[in-house]
Structure 1
């Protein structure tokens, strides 16, 4: 039986390294999609609003599907989910190489790759939180820098690959590289058995006990084990040889069709109760005022701060600040700054005297001010500086899991983080098309960036106000009692 105690080291650092590489491989191309965006505009000759859907969906779909992704990780574990995500990310990138139009690209690159990235994100953050307690902020900071390092490397690499092999060849090559996600999954040894395997094990042991008490005929044992053993099989042998579903079908067939129908209805009712309980627990999480404030802040920050990642290269070209993409693109500068921001903020949040929610609010406010300054900047150097500043404060993504754990507790982290990422993904999905439509309407990015800055600053204000101690004192006491109660229930469910 695996220990439930956070290790804060040992194999945990192997988990951090594997998760870092997994996020680098999955998010490298989506985070540097701004480099591909001008090429898609030239190739497909669509409007900027329509083409922007590709970049917004690849970042937003995975986060919107976070509740589902988190449920997959909770039930099946980080390792199988990461393997499956490797197939999705690589397949989506390779399929995008054969896209005949933007609509096909929206599906292959935006939805398929986006869902694969969402699975990787949920798996890596969940397993990292399980392995770390005191150093959780630092560990999450290192893991989430994988996306930024990937964006820096892929931004330059994709430029070079497009020059050498064209857009199609570039997508095929980075798709093949993404298959290494399966190798990263091999290091993700589970600290706790996932819910699906615990339920299967309990069902197998219960059915095996019944089978031994009933003393099945020797012919049945021969069929199930494939051997001519004359002695009754042990529990271990039955656990290996008998599948729960097959055993249930065999037993119910003997009792008649009516009994089988009754059992099926009972199973459906049990599943409905499980889903109802899951939805109700999500409703309970959203009763916490701090959690609601954090969800609103994440939505507004994603709505305003993500578009520069996609449009910043086009801003520089459309304003005449640079004729071609430079050796180190603005996307790469922002990615490196985000990497530094994630590490610095991850270390800061581990300090006991720093309030993690207020730190997040400050990063939002500073990022909003940088967005306001982008339209009035008339030099490429100024654009580089503002990109770096915005990138640094965008490193606050490394704080999301930490803050979520502080608000709802480790027992509810998977569900709460899924809800939070849903709001973030919704904002990311809407942001770039809105900015693109602003440009198509006004032929300028100025109004779009003023809108983005307003959203981010408003989110910071809401977060500060709704998490003030005078508002939240009673909620904190209730949350503590809820967390203790939930922890007990989870233990009972696991045993059952």
Structure 2
């Protein structure tokens, strides 16, 4: 679909892309810092690995579990207001956390409040790239996602420097001030202007056909007279809306005159009344009619379960292997270096329409699983830990770039904001469970190797679930070749 706007793929779109990169950078900076700060929590707050793990897992989990809420908020108030609210929540959470001296307080402030702010910011980044870019959409997603990789690159050394000079309380306060700069990026997300044109419509003889729009809501309105009608199409933020008007009654002039024949029984979207509001609420659950979307979310949950278990405990694990705290932090720098390369490369690869996006994810997840699964065999020295950081960052972090394009493949454009929110929700299930499960495995067995065996196994299962998405879509495509109109609610049927 061609979006009629001068800022698509050029002009102001590049300003939005830079702002989205900066927003994702600040999200990544905070999202990947709990692993390093967990060591400070053990020293300054409470020496209980399982309890301190909950702080980071709640931050990760809230950032993603509340994705559907963020999607609904963004759908209601727009990208700019959503990002500004996210910046305010993040600043409030981190500032409040700097005054907390208990795990419960850190869970409420650093975990819930700041995590919800990051959730709003992440949802905005995932949507604005698709709104402002069409031909270069995949590359735009790669650049935005690379901001998170750059945040991972910086987070380890920066947080270690702040902890060494300002302790945990000062570090949380300064990070809150840094995160408040998300407001600067947020104000650039101005809405796109709509473009509309009209199409002349000539009624047909009575027939039993009907028209269904993308939202599948309807109003019974029959065209009984013979005057020409106008089907007015409006395009705003990649969303197409149709309005049927009578040219003689309205006295309007059409800017284009494509002759389209429509049946007299016309089903148009209902825009007023309680039914429309109920439909807006339940649209969040309609996206689960896509089985491939469900399988994809299961893959995301397994991926984040593995990643949170492996990455969150990485500093503590490397120190047990003999590395210093500063050396453990630089493993994140190595991971961030590979992450930036991976995210941009994934954007470039996905721009090739011949390569299915989901197949790329299957490969990245499978290789990442092998890297993590065998990490205990080569984790004994600092240099091999750096190798792990580079390899894992290179192969695992490109998945962040693929989320946006894959969602666009699996659902309709109208469903993207809510679908993106649900994708975050399923990621949150893994993020919130990963660190505590990994801590429980370590405390129960006394062997940290089992944590990474668990994480690697989850990545392999995630790869298998992603492969199932491709199988489900292939079967659906074959079924539509046989019955092209059965169950297809995402098209306007014209005859």
Tell me if both proteins adopt one fold, taking TM over 0.5 as the criterion: yes
Contact 2:65 2:425 in 1 (8 A): yes
Q: Following TM superposition, by how much is the alpha carbon of 1:385 offset from its aligned partner in structure 2, in angstroms?
A: 1.2
CA pair 430-76 structure 1, distance change in 2 beyond 3 A: same
* Uncovered stretches (5+) of structure 1, i.e. residues with no partner: 194-268, 489-496
Task: State the distance in 1 between where 2:395 and 2:277 align.
Answer: 38
Contact 1:54 1:106 in 2 (8 A): yes
Is contact 1:83-1:182 (8 Å) kept?
yes
| Number of the residue aligned with 1:481 | 488
Tell me how far 1:38 sits from its aligned partner.
0.7
How far the C-alpha of 1:475 sits from its partner, in A, is: 6.4
How do 1:6-405 and structure 2 match up within 5 A?
7-191=8-192, 273-274=275-276, 276-320=278-322, 322-326=323-327, 329-377=330-378, 378-395=380-397, 396-405=399-408
**Number of residues paired by the alignment?**
409
Q: Take 1:478 and 1:65, find their aligned partners in 2: how far apart are those partners?
A: 35
Q: Following TM superposition, by how much is the alpha carbon of 1:380 offset from its aligned partner in structure 2, in angstroms? A: 2.1
State the 1:34 CA deviation.
1.5
Say which of 475, 478, 484 aligns to 1:471.
475
**Secondary structure of 2:150's match?**
helix
45-54 or 357-366: which moved more? Answer: 45-54
Indicate the residue corresponding to 1:450 in structure 2. Answer: 453
State which drifts further: 117-126 or 275-284.
275-284
- 1:280 and 1:175 map into 2 onto residues whose CA distance is 36
Q: What is the alpha-carbon distance in structure 2 between the residues aligned to residue 483 and residue 59 of structure 1?
A: 34
What is the CA–CA distance in structure 2 between the aligned matches of 1:385 and 1:315, rounded to whole Å? 15
Tell me, what secondary structure is at the counterpart of 2:313?
helix
Q: What is the Cα deviation at residue 102 of structure 1?
A: 0.9
Does the C-alpha gap of structure 1 residues 302 and 81 become closer, same or farther in structure 2, counting only changes over 3 Å?
A: same
1:151-209 deviations in Å (ceiling 9; x for gaps): 2223212211222222211211121122211111121111158xxxxxxxxxxxxxxxx
1:6, distance to aligned residue in structure 2 (A): 7.2
Aligned equivalents of 1:294, 1:125: Cα separation in 2: 16
Aligned to 1:482, what secondary structure does the other structure show? coil
After the TM superposition, which parts of structure 1 deviate over 6 Å for at least 4 consecutive aligned residues?
A: none
Q: Deviations over 1:105-158 (max 9, x none)?
A: 111111111100010011122111100111111101111111221222232122
The structure where helix makes up a greater share of residues is: 1
Deviations 1:92-112 (A, max 9, x none): 111111111111111111111
Tell me the equivalent position of 2:209. Answer: none
Deviation per residue, 1:29-70 (Å, 9 max, x gap): 221221111111111224212211111121221211111101
Name the one with the larger strand percent.
2
Taking a change above 3 Å as real, the CA distance of residues 279 and 347 of structure 1, as seen in their structure-2 partners, is: same
In the aligned structure 1, how far is the partner of 2:330 from the partner of 2:103?
24
Q: How many Å apart are 1:463 and its aligned residue? A: 2.0
Q: Does 1:425 align with 2:428?
A: yes
CA contact (8 A) 1:31 1:147 kept: no
User: What SS class does the counterpart of residue 306 from structure 1 fall into?
Assistant: helix
Q: For residues 311 and 401 of structure 2, what CA distance do their matches in structure 1 show?
A: 17
CA contact (8 A) 2:53 2:435 kept: yes
SS at match of 1:481: coil
Aligned mates of 1:465, 1:179 — CA distance in 2: 41
Asked if the contact 2:358–2:469 (Cα under 8 Å) also holds between the matched residues in 1, the reply is: no
Query: Aligned ranges for residues 429-444 of structure 1 at < 5 Å?
Result: 429-444=432-447
- Aligned-residue offset at 1:379: 2.2
How far the C-alpha of 1:307 sits from its partner, in A, is 2.1
- Structure 1 residues 3 and 343 mapped into 2: Cα distance closer, same or farther (>3 Å)? same
Rounded to whole Å, the distance in 1 between the matches of 2:313 and 2:141 is: 28
What is the alpha-carbon root mean square deviation over aligned residues?
2.3
| Residue 410 (structure 2) pairs with residue 407 (structure 1) | yes
Contact residue 349 and residue 356 of structure 1 kept, 8 A: yes
Distance 1:413 1:331 in 2: 32
- Tell me the distance in 1 between the aligned counterparts of 2:163 and 2:178: 16
1-side partners of 2:59 and 2:13: how far apart? 29
Alpha-carbon distance in 2 for matches of 1:155, 1:299? 25
Partner of 1:250: none
Aligned equivalents of 1:462, 1:26: Cα separation in 2: 27
- In the alignment, the residues of structure 1 paired with residue 394 and residue 17 of structure 2 have an alpha-carbon distance, to the nearest angstrom, of 21
Contact 1:32/1:152, CA 8 A, preserved across alignment: no
